[in-house]
Each structure stands twice: as structure tokens, then as C-alpha cells.
Structure 1
Amino acid sequence: MYASRYDPVMNSAVSAPHRPPRRPHAWLAALLLSQLLVAALWWRFGARWGLPAMIASHLPFWWGTLAPGSALFSPVLRRLPTSERVVWLTIDDGPSDDTRAILDLLDAHGAKATFFVVGERARARPELVRAIVERGHGIGNHSQCHPSAWFWALPPRRMRAEIDEAQRTLTALCGRAPRWFRAVAGHANPFLAPALRAHGLARVAWSARGYDAVLSDVTRTIARIERDLAPGAIVLLHEGARHGRNVEMLARLLQRLDALGYRTVLPEPLEVA
């Protein structure tokens, strides 16, 4: 069973809209209409008008795919709906060699986080996933293989497999299915929404990040995050980066959160009709 000591009441959880995609193919109508308009312009005015119109008609779909906060293809949670001085810590890409040190740091500060884990990494180190759950933290789906270079371009079958396999892996390890999903690099092409809907997964982006997956400068990274802190902020963090300083970055961030009077919370999913 899913063994968790987390008490949403004692930890002052914040209710957050949980919005799995309801109409995952709605974008098709917009695409077809836009291309009909392009065809009409091309037929009436030729390539001089038709070509720029075709390029312009594709720009929203590129934006919808590559912009982490875009809700063009599926709803996405960018911050918690609260005026309380609380933040949601989210930690991507684990489990890793950093996981146990991160858990100890969170315990030392009385903090909670959601770990968006990669299915194949969880399967290889199940004891770390169980440790996350046993210490009262959340688990989210972050794909099965984390294809960071190509997630934005995955075709329907491969996209579905990434979500399905990770969900099966994490459900087997945790005893219940994750309810939140973090897209790899934040990218969400049109084929993601049907896979999320099949599992009742709601997509989560972020409102504060320090690029800690690539930057090794702790001071600069924390300054970037602090600049975007606000009530209800969703903070994007990583573990296991090649520079080896993610644990140090989290330690500094937790110190700053304490100094600034912020508490960490786990969101309590609020179903949306």
C-alpha cells in the first residue's frame, strides 16, 4: 500500500484545480479552419499572401508545443491559487544519487515537495521512490525515458507509451497512481493530451525556476528563483544534474524560504467540473 505520513490538514495543503484534458482533440478544428483560410488566401492572392499566412497559421501551434506555460493543447497549472505565503516545491528527473540527501534536507526544514520522477529510473531504484513516499512527499509522472531532445516531437504512439509505462511503473511502486504530470522540458505537443486524459493526469508547469539543471552557480540560481517567488509559486528544481550541486542549491533555497517566511505545501487536488 501507499505508506505516507503526510497529513494535508496538518501541513496546510492548498487546494489546486486538477484539470485533466477534457477535449484532447479540440485543436484539430482550429488547425483545419486555419488551413482552409490559408488555402482561400492562396487561391485568391497567390503565394504573396498565401505563404506568409501559412507560416503565421503555424506559429500558435509551435508556441503551444514549446512554451511550458501554454494551455493551447491541454490545461496546465502554473501557480497555486492562494494568497498565503506558501510555495509548491517540485523536483524533477529523479530518483538519483541526490535523492536521500534531498529527503534529509527537506526533513530538517519541515518541508514537503513533489518529486516528478522518470519511470525507468524509478524502476532501477525502487527503494528511493518508496523512501520519497514514506517521508510524506508527492510523486508525479515525468515520462518513462525522459527523451529531453525529442519529447516535443514524439508521435502519438510513442507519446502514449511514455506516459502509460511511467504510470504503470509508479503505480506499482507506490500503490496508487500519480495524479500530476510534468512534461519533459515543459514541452507539450498535441499528442500529449489524449495520453493524460486516459490516466486522469493534470499537467503542471512552474512559475519560478533557476535553471539548476544546467547552471552550477548556486548564488545565481537561487537569485533567479527568489526573483519570481510569490504566494502560490510553483518552484521548479532538479536532482542528479551533472554539475553535482543540486543538493547545495536546495539547501540554500530552503534557508531563503525560511528567512522570507514561506512555507512549503503539497497541493490537494480540487476536481473541476
Structure 2
Amino acid sequence: MLEKDRPNRAVTPFFQIFGGRWQRLSGDAIHMTEGAGHHRLEWRVLSVLVPLVAGAAVFDALWRIGGAWLAWGGVLPVLFLLFHIVAIVIGGKNPLAQWQRWNLLLAAWSVWQGWFANESGVRWAAGIWLGVLALNAVSALCLGWRFLMVHPATCTAVARWFIFAAIHVPVFVVTWLYGWHAGLVVLPVAAAVWLCGTFLPNSRVFGPIARRVEGKDVLLTIDDGPDPVDTPALLDLLDQHGRRAVFFIIGEKVRRHPELAREIVRRGHELGNHTMTHPVGVFWGLGPARTRREIEGCQQAIEEATGTKARFFRAPAGHRNWFTHPALQDLGLELVGWRKRAYDTIRSDVDGIVRDLVTGVKDGDILLLHEATMTSQGVMKGVLEALESGTPRVKKTEAPDHHAALPDS
């Protein structure tokens, strides 16, 4: 089963974006942590920042009321009382409500301290909290973007044209009115985001992508088939080692060799969609119509040849375009990336390729291999032997469960 993104229990936008993946729990641990308790790192950070800034605010207020003696002598008891009032009297019943109240109080004090209050010695604390606010504001924008990329109503070709226009038209208007210097302020940022979403194989800028699988084994994926020479040999090697794999195949090749596609399925492996013509040099820049034709054409070829529907899609070279996810949503496909690859399509050193693929591999990793190359059979043999031997290069916590290696519905 492909590993899904799960909430990490963070209540602040920053840690919702950058707080790391949800950790697997079981039994009572799940019940105790769902909806209760902060993300662990977030809790540690806030448990320092909130008392620090709140303490500075209390100290400043006491200093203004009664001078240094009252400030130094009363900061701790008043801070202690303040925490109880916020937590019990006006506090919420969960960490999100608590965060909202503290954030509102400290934000109001920080703005007052920074822009309206007389000079004091605690503006550094106001600066810290204004920095927290800025980070969370940027993170909230990222969350909003992620929502647009995954919500069915906005994950459409039409909606993405509107989003594209909403981003670029104002930039060009500013450039037209105020010159190219003004445009340079925004265009590089937009271009960097666009390039990351397109050319970083596991980027989630344009939508979700699976990079790992659940279970205690790795998942082997083989691109660019079926091939009349390599496919039968790779199937035999997989059978010898009792492993299953996902073959991301090209629609045109399926048309030429439908019997190979059927043989892959007959031997218990999964077929994945790898476009109709594998336009590796241009797929990243295709429009919505051509993108859909490439994906839908391969989907039809697989179904006509085998009677089965592919559930997974991998873009050529991992380079998606702006319209890939809407097409995948319409066709019921999931985008699959990888955790380790060794560029076996352009290298000839089999031992080096195998070493790069298996060194440090962990349970749940997706490995990317190719067929129809000079090294494909040697690479597959070396990887299978390394995984089976359980050498120190391969991290395994349990004996491999070959039935769990293939993604389930």
C-alpha cells in the first residue's frame, strides 16, 4: 500500500508544513494522540517561546506600573497566574484553541510594543513573536496552496488555468507599468516554485506523490517496458527470488507486445501507467489536452491488452507538468515517485548501480530500475541478491514479507 500523508498533530501552520511525517502508532497510543497533544517538536518550541515572550510582556507591564523592584519581584508569580487564567478561564479545550488564544494575546502585545509603545528593553521579545507570526503566515499560504492542489473542485485543468493567470497576469501588469526591475522582484520566486514542481521528481508543489510504501520491505519498480528481451528475463529473476514488482510500461510498447503485458500480470505483478509515447523531453511542458492523451492512451492500451486497469502513474523521468494531477484525478490514478535511483539508463557500471540502489535502503523505500537497457538484467540480479542476503548495506527490521511489497487498493 502506498504510504499516505497523515496529519502530524501540529496546530501552527509552520509545523503543519515542516513538522515531519505522522509516526505510526497502534492501539491506545492512536486514541491518546488523535486530536490531543501537539506535534512533539512544536510542543518543545512553543514551550520555550510562549513563556519567554509572555514573561517579557509581564515584566514590561510591571516595570511600567511600579518600576524595577516590582518587575523583578513580580514577574514569576504574575506569569504563573497569567498561564492559569489563559489555560483555565479563557483557554480552549484542545491545543489548537490554546494556541489561538496565546497567539492573539502575544501578537497584540508584539504589535503594540513594536509600533506604539515607548522604547523598552523587551522589544527583542516582540521581534521574536513577530517573526513567529511571519513564518506562520508564509506557512498558511503554503497550506492554502496545497489545498488548491488537492481539492477536487480546484484540481481541474480549467481551475489551473485560472490559478496560472492569477499568479502571472499581475506580475506582467506590474512589469509593464513599472519596468522590468519591478518584475524581477516576483518573477524569480514564481519561476523557482514552477521549476521545483516540474523537475524535482518527488516534489509535491503541484500535488501529492507517493514516495514510500507501507510495510516491512522495499518496493521494486521497473520503467520503460515491456521489452521482448528484458521483460521475460526480469520476470524469471523476480520469480527466482519470490518478489513482486510494479512495471511502469509505455502504451506504444504494450500495443506492440500485448502478450508481455499479459505475462507480467499473469505472474502476479502490477502494471503502472508510464504514458503512451514516453515523451521524456517535452512532457514537462505539455498542455492539458496532450497530457491527458498521453496518460489516457496508455491506460486504454493496458486495459485492452490485459483487462486490468492501472492504478499508478509515473511521469517520464519524473517530470510532471502543471496539468498532470487533474488528468490523474479524472482517470483515478495515483502519482508514484521513488526514494532511490541510480541513473541506470545512462550508466554502464552494474556494480556501482547496484551499490547506489541498495546502500542504506530502508523498509518502505521505492527503488527505481529500468528495462530495455544494456545493464537491466545485471542490475536486477544484483539488487535482488543484495536484498535477499540482508547485507549490512540493506536495513531490514524483519524478514521481508513479499506479499506486502506490492501496493494494495
Assess, with a 3 A threshold, how the Cα gap between structure 1 residues 39 and 118 changes in structure 2: closer, same or farther: closer
What SS is found at the alignment partner of 1:185? helix
**Please, what TM-score do these two structures have when normalized by structure 2?**
0.57
The 1:196–1:15 alpha-carbon spacing in structure 2 relative to 1, beyond 3 Å, is closer
Counterpart amino acid of residue 276 in structure 2 = Q
Deviations 1:146-172 (A, max 9, x none): 111111112221111101111111011
Q: Determine the C-alpha separation between the residues in 1 that align with 2:172 and 2:286.
A: 28
Structure with the higher helix share, 1 or 2: 2
1:134 paired residue among 266, 279, 290: 266
- 8 Å CA contact 1:207–1:228 kept in 2: the answer is no
Taking the aligned partners of 2:169 and 2:367, their CA distance within structure 1 comes to 41
- 1:141-152 matched pairs, under 5 angstroms: 141-152=273-284
Mean Cα deviation higher: 88-97 or 52-61? 52-61
Question: How far 1:81 moved relative to its partner?
Answer: 3.6
* Deviation of the 1:227 alpha carbon: 2.7
Q: Name the structure 2 match of 1:93.
A: 224
How many residue pairs end up in the alignment?
251
Distance 1:34 1:178 in 2: 34
Question: Which residue identity does 1:67 align to in structure 2?
Answer: L
Distance 1:15 1:216 in 2: 31
In the other structure, the counterpart of 2:254 is 122
Asked if 1:223 corresponds to 2:355, the answer is: yes
The answer to whether 1:24 aligns with 2:24 is no
Preserved contact between residue 24 and residue 73 of structure 1 (Cα < 8 Å): no
Check if 1:35 corresponds to 2:146. Answer: no
SS at 2:181's partner residue? helix
2:219 and 2:242 map into 1 onto residues whose CA distance is 13
Shift of 1:92: 0.3
Give the distance between the partners of 1:78 and 1:218, measured in 2 at CA.
24
Gapped regions of structure 1 (runs ≥ 5): 1-13
Residue aligning to 1:80: 213
Kindly indicate whether residue 407 of structure 2 is the aligned counterpart of residue 267 of structure 1: yes
- For the pair 1:246 / 2:379, whether they are aligned, the reply is no
Partner of 2:297: 165
SS of 2:202's partner is: coil
1:25-54 deviation digits (Å, cap 9, x = unpaired): 465565444436635764786432322422
Distance in structure 2 (CA, Å) of the matches to 1:129 and 1:104: 14
Cα offset, 1:194, TM superposition: 1.9
**Contact 1:64–1:71 at 8 Å: present in 2 too?**
yes
Q: For the residues of structure 2 that align with 1:123 and 1:37, how far apart are their CA atoms?
A: 46
Counterpart amino acid of residue 248 in structure 1: G
Q: Which consecutive unaligned segments of at least 5 residues does structure 2 have?
A: 6-148, 391-395
- Residue range with higher mean Cα deviation, 37-46 or 111-120: 37-46
Q: Secondary structure at the match of 2:408?
A: strand
Alpha-carbon distance in 2 for matches of 1:57, 1:245:
39
Q: Which amino acid aligns with 1:168?
A: Q
* TM-score normalized with structure 1 length: 0.84
Structure 1 distance, partners of 2:360, 2:324, is 28
* 2:200 counterpart (46, 67, 90): 67
